[in-house]
Structure 1
């Protein structure tokens, strides 16, 4: 089985798509896919489909959607390929209280193994984070860039999302942002500030209150000899935070602004690494 979540929903068995076109059936498959190899309670599926006002027939309707998915799986399994001998009920398993979408054949002995862009993303990101901790910024940037390349758009962009999927989508977006700011941090450490400017310009417009990205943008601008623009970026963020949230920028970002002010046009602001928890913005490179 192949599961694609990081963009459009794509789920296939034996290379044959089992992704339905009907919106609610897609929702059911999407929730099962994003939680592949975990039991998804029937109550979670009901909440996803109908929120707090399910029809009396909700459980029966969920069963109908599961049957429709199994029909698609059965058709895919008829194609000769790996994992022969499986049935649709082996792939989409009924368990006490819910259902489980099995991403592999589960026999552990030479059968087919499932692939998932989420798992590939998490694996590559973890390698990148470990490389960051070890100070290998080239390796960190390479793995994190490869991880981020797996995203073809917002997660499950073509699926109507209820409460359960909305939570999963927000979680995935947060993991993407974490990988993104760590990749940018690694590339700043490698002195690639000029090549990052165009990307950061777009990102701070997309995420106008994201302090990490703003700090990275300020550093990239200052290192490129654009001190005034770096200070302007700080002021825009501050104005947005005060206006929309009633908050001042974080202490580390205020310290970065003061360092840029005191560094002068050709100086290099130095922010101690301990002032950052999520991203190390030390300018030692």
Structure 2
């Protein structure tokens, strides 16, 4: 069985679609897929299906939904001449139900696995490897998780967790691309994503650096002011100190062409006495924006 939850819910068994079309059975499949290979108690399913007031026959109705899912799984196997295995795929336990699938069958697992590969590459300062792994992780994303599923509290929390993972992976992929000197290529994407997340300080910092290195210092400074206004208005907060240091460095910077076109990697490398000095101090421009420079 293969299951996709990073966007519209989709499931296939032996290549045949098995996702139900009715709302509540889709919720059951979504919850079982989110916690694949773990037992989901009946009470948890009932709470997800009827968050306010479960009907008296809630348990029986839930069993009916499980039977319906098994029929779809059975029919998919039968259609291709495979051994019917519905009860081995959707398992009944003393307390609930378990969807037994290989870990690689759920797309969210690939997102998290590749994100971990990217983080390990990032720790090794392998920016090319990190950018590649993070980009591959993001390629599994087809839209908001469970976007066509009637989600209760449990699925909403799980979907929010996946959204946070995606945003973190996006942040890290853009940072890796900046370190590889891809500031011109990132401007369109960063303009869009910071409009969607106007108070995300990491993404705005990336936008500032990309604009600065593209010769657009005034726009980089404007991006900081928009972030500051949004933070003050929405949360009563000033930008983080590291972001303030980056802003001050840009305010004091000379707009010399050599400074503006210098790649992140060049700035990140060890300083040489004969090399032109970047106007943005190395500790502000080369290190991840959230890391305070050493005294």
Q: Cα distance, 1:260 vs. partner?
A: 1.4
C-alpha distance in structure 2 between counterparts of 1:248 and 1:43, whole Å: 44
Mark the CA change 1:193 to 1:269 in structure 2 (over 3 Å): closer, same or farther. Answer: farther
Where does residue 267 of structure 2 map in the other structure? Answer: none
Does the alignment pair 1:243 with 2:225? Answer: no
- Count of aligned pairs: 269
Q: Cα distance, 1:129 vs. partner?
A: 1.1
Aligned counterpart in structure 1 of residue 114 of structure 2, from 103, 124, 141? 124
Q: Cα distance, 1:97 vs. partner?
A: 1.5
Give the secondary-structure state (helix, strand or coil) at the position aligned to 1:205. helix
The answer to whether the 8 Å contact 1:260/1:269 transfers is no
Q: Cα distance, 1:249 vs. partner?
A: 1.2
Where does residue 273 of structure 2 map in the other structure? Answer: none
Does the alignment pair 1:64 with 2:64? Answer: yes
Structure 1, gaps ≥5 residues long = 105-112
The answer to whether the 8 Å contact 1:263/1:269 transfers is no
Does the alignment pair 1:217 with 2:229? Answer: no
Mark the CA change 1:120 to 1:114 in structure 2 (over 3 Å): closer, same or farther. Answer: closer
* Alignment of structure 1 residues 163-178 onto 2, 5 Å: 163-178=153-168
Where does residue 144 of structure 1 map in the other structure? Answer: 134
Mark the CA change 1:144 to 1:273 in structure 2 (over 3 Å): closer, same or farther. Answer: same
C-alpha distance in structure 1 between counterparts of 2:44 and 2:8, whole Å: 22
Give the secondary-structure state (helix, strand or coil) at the position aligned to 2:97. strand
Q: Cα distance, 1:114 vs. partner?
A: 5.3
TM-score when normalising by structure 2: 0.86
Give the secondary-structure state (helix, strand or coil) at the position aligned to 1:11. strand
Where does residue 268 of structure 1 map in the other structure? Answer: 280
Q: Cα distance, 1:6 vs. partner?
A: 1.0
The answer to whether the 8 Å contact 1:144/1:179 transfers is yes
Where does residue 109 of structure 1 map in the other structure? Answer: none
The answer to whether the 8 Å contact 1:223/1:268 transfers is no
C-alpha distance in structure 1 between counterparts of 2:289 and 2:95, whole Å: 47
Aligned counterpart in structure 2 of residue 185 of structure 1, from 169, 175, 182? 175
Between stretches 168-177 and 119-128, larger displacement belongs to 119-128
* Alignment of structure 1 residues 10-25 onto 2, 5 Å: 10-25=10-25
Where does residue 108 of structure 1 map in the other structure? Answer: none
C-alpha distance in structure 2 between counterparts of 1:23 and 1:135, whole Å: 46
For residues 106-132 of structure 1, give each alpha carbon's deviation from its aligned partner in whole angstroms, at most 9, with x where no partner exists.
Answer: xxxxxxx85221111222221111111
Give the secondary-structure state (helix, strand or coil) at the position aligned to 2:162. helix
Q: Cα distance, 1:86 vs. partner?
A: 4.8
Q: Cα distance, 1:275 vs. partner?
A: 6.3
Structure 2, gaps ≥5 residues long = 257-278
Where does residue 93 of structure 1 map in the other structure? Answer: 91
Where does residue 110 of structure 1 map in the other structure? Answer: none
Q: Cα distance, 1:273 vs. partner?
A: 3.9
Where does residue 100 of structure 2 map in the other structure? Answer: 102
Q: Cα distance, 1:85 vs. partner?
A: 3.9
Where does residue 203 of structure 1 map in the other structure? Answer: 193
